[in-house]
Amino acid sequence: MRDHKQVTARCTGPMNAMLICEELFLLLTKDSGKPESRMTYPVYGLTGALLTDLLLAGRISLTEERSPRIYIINSGPTGHPVLDWALTVLPAKDGKRFSSVVSWGKLNPTRHIAASLETTGVIRIHTGGLFGSFSPTYPTLDPVPERLLRERIDGALRGVQPPTGPDVALLAILQALNIAPVVLPQQETGLSRGELKHRIKEISGASPVGRAVQRAVDATTMAIIAATSAVAVSTN
């Protein structure tokens, strides 16, 4: 049913800017290539960021229901390999709830994000063990993109510059993954765990980002929290 009111967003940044999902990948990965910390469902965060990228690129829209549905509005090439791959997979979930798409394993973008970042010389994909049997790691080759990203986020946290849509998305997803204080430590931001949580909530509530982006961020956060809660209940 496509008669629901839908919200879309358009990207206003430079076309060569790094995707939100790529930025999140860098924040969740140490320079050594290992995960920043043990996390619950980091893939949900990456998938939610990917869907937000598609929204900003004008390729999908969200309905205005409490639990929004995703509709593909343009499946043509975007010029970015991660987005183009996603658009070949996503038609199977056209019209489905955002939350179900975030948790859909076939849309796990990790391998494609890593390949894109390796192509641009930011990281290297390292596979260990016999025939690459160990989980891959992603050591940093070029630290500049993440350094600039952290400077941008720090500026938003300190109120030096207004947060962008990607800033809001990244901060909210890091908080939902319960890893924000690890990725953005006090010695770097000057904010304690409680202060950081409050500041992220403040930014999410006050930022003038597009309504569609905010809905995508909210839906991603809800999906992560729901998945985490389900695991907590099953283990009790």
Rounded to 10 degrees, the C-alpha dihedral 59/183/163/97 comes to: 30
What pLDDT is attached to residue 205? Answer: 78
DSSP state of 214: H
> Could you tell me the maximum CA-CA distance found in the chain, to the nearest angstrom?
53
Query: Does 18 fall in a domain?
Result: yes
Percent of residues, the chain, with pLDDT higher than 90: 62
Query: Does 1 fall in a domain?
Result: no
**What's the number of domains the chain is made of?**
1
Alpha helices per DSSP H over 28-130: 42-56, 81-89, 98-102, 110-119
Q: Would you list the DSSP string of 136-182?
A: PB--BS--HHHHHHHHHHHHHHTTSSPPPHHHHHHHHHHHHTT-HHH
Structure tokens at 153: 């986020």
Query: Does 76 fall in a domain?
Result: yes
Query: Does 178 fall in a domain?
Result: yes
pLDDT tens string 152-204: 999 999 999 989 889 999 999 999 888 999 999 999 999 999 999 999 999 88
Query: Does 211 fall in a domain?
Result: yes
Query: Does 19 fall in a domain?
Result: yes
Query: Does 14 fall in a domain?
Result: yes
Structure tokens at 79: 């010029």
Query: Does 193 fall in a domain?
Result: yes
Q: Which of 231, 225, 223 shows the shortest CA–CA distance to 47?
A: 223
Residue 14 sits in a domain whose CATH number is 1.10.3630.10
pLDDT tens string 64-98: 888 889 999 999 999 999 999 999 999 999 999 99
pLDDT tens string 3-45: 444 555 544 444 448 999 999 999 999 999 988 876 667 899 9
Evaluated on CA atoms 185, 119, 22, 161, the torsion sign reads: positive
Percent of residues, the chain, with pLDDT higher than 70: 83
pTM: 0.88
- Percent helix, strand, coil in the chain, to 5, is 55, 5, 40
User: Per-residue confidence at 54, pLDDT binned at 50, 70, 90?
Assistant: very high
Structure tokens at 95: 């019209």
Place of tokens 């290539």: 33
Q: Which domain holds residue 39?
A: 6-234
